[in-house]
């Protein structure tokens, strides 16, 4: 953090003083999430979702480690070991459902966190690195979740693994070699299951490390805020503790409540019944679908149904990965100097179209591959790529933004009906 008025760590407790003199962890915590980190005072609830994502990761790691004490990563017994956890391990059903529901909650929270970034221009200078690291975290999350879903070795586990690893064979020439290398065989089997377990255990710690970089990169310029106007002085900020620890506490309560209601009362709602059937390499499920958080990308994959120079399958794979990789370039595609969509009415319109578009893509991805959903996917996928790659670059240059407030404090006070000499036309809505 780099604000000159930030409070300095001055411990009165003798133990804390002793530790801090020898290993500056206490001051590190104080400066990162304590009273030593000034944060804009006008953050709204969309700023809660970063901490919630961290909490979701912690929950996944704790429940995962404990589940790994009972899970057997061998194709012959994996399914039964999960049922052993559900039926015989003390509180095993709670741990398993917590981990499965937790994965969904993690993605809900991260998607809202990403959409916050898109709306408020959090990816813009000087926070590009925060954004890039975030996209890396998202990719790692997707890999982790995919491998985790394979572990129970149900029908969807097996066939999902079959389909996803099948993508690699779309790469011309070396594709099938890569696929067989990944699987450790010609079809998902013991080798696949064991290595996925190993990597599934490893990646969350890699995610944790990247999150540390992500927060470090953020704390250099400090948090952005809903107006997108940078912090100008002390009156624009409040110390993270107790202001945002209190607000995050509240957010955590709501998050845990929703988590608990799902876990205890509808634990299989977000899942697919086919995964309660043991994997059978000779029988394909009627509709292979991944978990809901992959549905928009699955829709993009399936949208490419005609060959055009390249194979349709290859187009689909390129587009599916491309749809995430293009996010890396967003800070340079969107060249508007104005951050927050609150002041960019044209961008805002397209933002909401994008949200609806992605929701429809999600719905298509979870549905059967009938011509109706195919056409809908094609239209919505076209919009998705057009939005980021064509529309944003154009409108970010051409758009006339609304006048910005001069400072955060000004925006806050005008919202509360206060008068300030340097106030411009009403800034926030």
Which amino acids are annotated catalytic?
219, 223, 247-248, 291
Site for other proteins, residues 30 to 89, rule: CB under 8 A: 35, 38, 41-43, 62, 66, 69-70, 80, 83-84, 86-89
Q: Which long-range contacts (CB under 8 A, 24 or more apart) does 69-72 make?
A: 71/151, 71/197
Measured between alpha carbons, how far is 330 from 279 in angstroms, rounded to an integer? 40
User: Look-up: residue for tokens 């206490």?
Assistant: 26
Binding other proteins by CB under 8 A: which of 125, 174, 202, 250? 250
Nearer to other proteins, 337 or 418 (CB): 418
In the complex, least distance from residue 305 CB atom to other proteins, rounded to whole angstroms: 5
Please check whether residue 236 is in contact with residue 409, taking contact to mean a CB–CB distance below 8 angstroms: yes
CA distances 194 to 79, 150, 279, 396, Å, are 13, 10, 15, 48
**Backbone conformation region of residue 345, classed left if phi is above 0, alpha if psi is from -120 to 50, else beta:** alpha
Task: Please name every residue paired with 154 in a beta bridge, in sequence order, or none if there are none.
Answer: 278
160 is written with which tokens? 């999902």
Smallest gap, in angstroms, from Cβ of residue 152 to other proteins? Answer: 12
Residue 26 in contact with other proteins, rule: CB under 8 A:
no
Question: Is 126 or 242 the residue whose CB approaches other proteins more closely?
Answer: 242
139 is a contact residue toward other proteins (CB under 8 A): no
Which of 184, 206, 186, 204 is closest to 194 using CA atoms?
184
Site for other proteins in 308-337 (CB under 8 A): 308, 312, 315, 319, 322, 326, 329, 332-333, 335
> Which string of x and - marks every residue 388-407 that binds other proteins (by CB under 8 A)?
xxx--x------------xx
Main-chain phi, psi angles of 259, to 5 degrees: -55, -45
Q: How far is the CB of 54 from other proteins (least distance, A)?
A: 16
Of the candidate residues 58, 220, 356, 386, the single one contacting other proteins (CB under 8 A): 386
3-state secondary structure of 356: helix
With CB under 8 A as the rule, give the number of residues binding other proteins: 93
Residues 405-424 binding other proteins (CB under 8 A) are 406-407, 409-410, 412-413, 416, 418-420, 422
Cα separation, 297 vs 381, in Å, equals 9
Which residue, among 422, 10, 16, 30, has the nearest Cα to 242 in the 3D structure?
30
Q: How far is the CB of 180 from other proteins (least distance, A)?
A: 27
Segment interacting with other proteins (CB under 8 A) among 113-121, 135-143, 244-252, 352-360:
244-252
Q: Return the number of the residue (107 or 384) whose C-beta is nearest other proteins.
A: 384
Of the pair 30, 295, the CB lying nearest other proteins is at 30
Cβ closest to other proteins, residue 187 vs residue 375: 375
- Residue 381 C-beta: closest distance to other proteins, Å: 6
Distance CA 394, CA 382 (A): 17
CB of 251: closest distance to other proteins in angstroms? 9
The secondary structure of residue 59, as a DSSP letter, is H
* Number of neighbours of residue 254 by Cβ within 10 angstroms: 12
The single-letter DSSP state of residue 268 is T
């Amino acid at each position: 953090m780099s604000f000159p008025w930030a409070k300095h760590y001055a411990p009165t407790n003798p133990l804390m003083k002793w530790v801090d003199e020898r290993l500056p962890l206490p001051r590190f915590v104080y400066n990162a999430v304590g009273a030593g980190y000034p944060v804009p005072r006008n953050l709204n609830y969309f700023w809660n979702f970063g901490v919630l994502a961290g909490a979701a990761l912690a929950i996944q790691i704790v429940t995962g480690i404990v589940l790994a004490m009972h899970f057997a990563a061998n194709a012959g017994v994996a399914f039964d070991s999960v049922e052993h956890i559900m039926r015989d391990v003390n509180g095993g059903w709670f741990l398993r459902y917590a981990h499965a529901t937790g994965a969904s909650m993690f993605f809900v929270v991260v998607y809202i966190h990403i959409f916050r970034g898109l709306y408020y221009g959090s990816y813009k200078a000087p926070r590009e690195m925060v954004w890039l690291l975030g996209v890396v975290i998202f990719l790692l999350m997707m890999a982790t979740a995919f491998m985790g879903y394979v572990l129970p070795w149900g029908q969807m586990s097996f066939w999902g693994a079959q389909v996803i690893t099948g993508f690699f064979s779309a790469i011309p020439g070396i594709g099938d070699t890569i696929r067989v290398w990944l699987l450790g065989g010609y079809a998902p089997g013991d080798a696949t299951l064991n290595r996925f377990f190993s990597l599934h255990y490893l990646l969350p710690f890699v995610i944790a490390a990247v999150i540390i970089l992500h927060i470090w990169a953020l704390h250099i310029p400090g948090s952005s805020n809903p107006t997108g106007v940078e912090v100008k002085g002390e009156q624009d900020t409040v110390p993270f503790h107790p202001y945002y620890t209190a607000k995050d506490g509240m957010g955590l309560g709501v998050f845990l409540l929703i988590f608990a209601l799902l876990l205890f009362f509808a634990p299989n709602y977000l899942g697919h019944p086919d995964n309660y059937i043991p994997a059978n390499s000779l029988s394909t499920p009627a509709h292979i679908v991944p978990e809901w958080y992959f549905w928009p990308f699955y829709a993009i994959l399936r949208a490419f149904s005609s060959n055009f120079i390249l194979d349709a399958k290859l187009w689909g794979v390129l587009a599916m990965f491309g749809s995430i990789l293009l996010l890396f370039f967003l800070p340079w595609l969107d060249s508007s100097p104005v951050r927050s969509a609150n002041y960019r009415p044209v961008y805002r319109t397209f933002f909401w179209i994008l949200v609806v578009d992605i929701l429809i893509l999600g719905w298509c991805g979870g549905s059967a591959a009938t011509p109706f959903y195919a056409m809908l996917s094609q239209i919505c996928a076209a919009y998705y790529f057009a939005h980021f790659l064509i529309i944003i670059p154009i409108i970010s240059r051409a758009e006339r933004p609304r006048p910005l407030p001069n400072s955060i404090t000004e925006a806050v006070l005008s919202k509360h009906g206060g008068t300030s000499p340097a106030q411009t036309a009403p800034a926030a809505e």
